[in-house]
Amino acid sequence: MTSAEAVEHLEREVGVLLRRSRALNRESAARIHPDLNFEAYSILVRLDDLTQARPSDLARFFRIGKPTLSRQVKLLEELELVSRVADSSDARAVLLTLTDPGRTMVRAARAARRAATTETLGSWGADTLETFAALTQRLNAALSPDVSDDVLAAETSLPPRLPRRSSSVGAVRDISTTPG
């Protein structure tokens, strides 16, 4: 397979993965509330990962405008899943945080999704799953060129990305054998 054919194959598979991921996000969102859309669900997951965040940081992370984020946050506040708290480091700023019921519901939805993923991918083995996670992390970093590796790792709550390898099949072998 040529490099161009490999890229075309990757584009097709990533497209399918994204469509399926959106469908799973919609299902997870519906577990929390029938009016919740998958974009708002993603904000809840992010807040669960971070505990709290400024709206501007969420907008930057999701690469959406502040008005779009504001509409999503308004829905989350109306559903009593998110609340605003004062930022102790900046009196002018606010932080978003999950309410106790919001946190409980998000964690239950995430646990159900992890259980389904474990059932689906359980036969892959830990090494294969870690290799796939590392490659996916590299792809996410490549799609966020304006964000440094350290910031991306902090944003995704993952360890720092493995060093970039040349684009070859050997890169997969290098990643799977890199201690880490």
CATH of the domain at 23: 1.10.10.10
User: Do residues 71 and 149 share a domain?
Assistant: no
Strands (E), 13-148: 52-53, 82-87, 90-98
User: Do residues 164 and 176 share a domain?
Assistant: yes
User: Do residues 6 and 60 share a domain?
Assistant: yes
pLDDT score, position 59: 93
Range of the domain at 39: 1-122
pLDDT score, position 90: 87
Domain count for the chain, please give it: 2
pLDDT score, position 56: 93
User: Do residues 1 and 90 share a domain?
Assistant: yes
pLDDT score, position 147: 57
**Which structure tokens are listed for 125?**
């083995």
CA quadruple 144, 147, 150, 152: dihedral positive or negative? negative
The pTM assigned to this predicted structure is 0.72
Report the alpha-carbon distance of residue 55 to residue 25 in Å, rounded: 21
Residues of the chain with pLDDT under 50: 148-180
pLDDT score, position 94: 94
User: Do residues 87 and 7 share a domain?
Assistant: yes
Report the alpha-carbon distance of residue 29 to residue 45 in Å, rounded: 10
Boundary (domain end) residue, out of 97, 122, 147: 122
User: Do residues 132 and 53 share a domain?
Assistant: no
Report the alpha-carbon distance of residue 51 to residue 17 in Å, rounded: 28
Q: What are the pLDDT digits (tens) for 12-64?
A: 999 999 999 899 889 999 999 998 998 999 999 999 999 999 999 999 988 89
pLDDT score, position 91: 84
Name the strands in the sheet holding 90-98, side by side, starting at the edge strand that comes first in the sequence.
52-53, 90-98, 82-87
